[in-house]
Structure 1
Amino acid sequence: MPLPAVAAPEPCGVPAFAPLRVRGGWGRFRLRRAMRRRRRALAAGLAVTAAALAAWGARAPVGAAPAPHGEPVAVRQHRPKPVEMVSAPVRIADAETVRLLRPGDRVDVIAAADSPTGAASDARVVATGARVAEVPRARETFPEAGGGALIVLSVPRPVAAALAGAGTTSRLAVTLC
């Protein structure tokens, strides 16, 4: 079925006018648009760089540092940080005193020099507040190896060295804290 014919409207006349001239018109908007694009590109580049650095830092070994003048990355040997607390085995002269100790007890270790006079002024405190880490059983202390009994103390590294030195030259005793 054919559609009914519709009459077209009469053409209207368009009046003549001078062209409009607007200062800055589209040029200004193009500049702003270009600056926005540049900022976005810069922000995207910085984000990608930050992500790459974060990923590289997560995989790089501790101590890795870029070498100067564009040389390849040199990886230094990783040295573990010294342990603050160490276990120090100490032979106490009085084995009966060691029977009173339990792991977790705090003790002061006193060194008394082996002197014929046995003067009290020869005694000195080697460690204070040392934590008893372990008290081996009597058969594990080997009393025939010089008497006394062995205990294991948890102390800072310098104190462990002092205990080892004092144990070779003096008889050691403990007091409970």
Structure 2
Amino acid sequence: MDYEIRAVRDDEWPAVRELRLAALRDEMAPVAFLETYEQALEQPDGYWRDRTRNAARGEAARQFVAVGPDGRLVGTVVALVEEAGTDDFFGRPVTRRQAQIVGVYVRPEARGIGVTEALFEAAVAWSRGLEGLERVRLHVHEDNPRAAGFYRKFGFVPTGGAVPNPGDPSKSDLEMVLGEPGE
């Protein structure tokens, strides 16, 4: 695999913006993301600069990217730290310090060759390196079997928890948690 996996850099905000817009045009975007292409497109440059800077150096979030041989960003995943005593982005109380994996996207030409696995390995390693972190979790839309299958293969297991999808409350986002090694 000729892809570099690393944390995003502050100055890469134009490439981060372009990758996010590509993700939001993907056929699975309506069930994979809580933001629309139109919403992202309306954001000013300052928004993208701040978002990228915070994900490059922040302690509450870290964005990992896959960089292709030509220097183009071809994939991304973000680990968000959720602190006990706060609410998650669904408005539910967080009872333990944990990481939430979000914003998963790999361009079609880089799928199936290990890029997604490498991105997840980087995000999970960073998350597990945080002091006091008790678990790594994510949510997957009930109508996104491809993503759910990858998550299971990587070691995530359903918790039985679910929340109404913010974009379509008649559908659910299913909670999955990463099993500990040896489980």
Question: Shorter-chain-normalised TM-score: which range?
Answer: under 0.3
Higher RCO (CA < 8 A, seq sep 6+): 1
Q: TM-score, normalised by structure 1?
A: 0.20
Between Structure 1 and Structure 2, whose CA radius of gyration is higher? 1
Q: Would you tell me which structure has more strand in proportion to its own residues?
A: 2
Q: TM-score, normalised by structure 2?
A: 0.19
